[in-house]
Amino acid sequence: KNEVEQSPQNLTAQEGEFITINCSYSVGISALHWLQQHPGGGIVSLFMLSSGKKKHGRLIATINIQEKHSSLHITASHPRDSAVYICAVKKGGSEKLVFGKGTKLTVNP
């Protein structure tokens, strides 16, 4: 079983819809990252969080340390949000990130 599981694997939405992507992990962590990857490979960091909630524009990330679960929300989705969203955790005592397989989001106009 992977240490980081994301759901759903694929998500198709209509422009304007509210989107939620979930991430569950099974190890002790010091931080959780949400990343965005566009076709061609480039990865952009969206959030790094260790507790609570962060907001940036239309993106909101939450984490529940006790339940080992995080969610990424996108409000008023737009076709330019189409990308793969990846959850990654930094395990306690290590510098490496352990990644989920990603959620491929397609937002149709």
Binding other proteins (rule: CB under 8 A), the pick from 14, 64, 94, 108 is 94
The candidate with the shortest Cα–Cα distance to 33, out of 90, 73, 102, 77, is 90
Q: Does 39 bind other proteins (CB under 8 A)?
A: no
How many angstroms separate the CA atoms of 19 and 86, rounded? Answer: 14
Site string for other proteins, 58-77 (x = CB under 8 A): --------------------
The candidate with the shortest Cα–Cα distance to 32, out of 49, 14, 19, is 49
* Nearer CB in complex with other proteins: 13/86: 86
Instruction: By CB under 8 A, name the binding residues for other proteins.
Output: 4, 30-31, 33, 35, 40-45, 47-48, 86, 88, 94-102
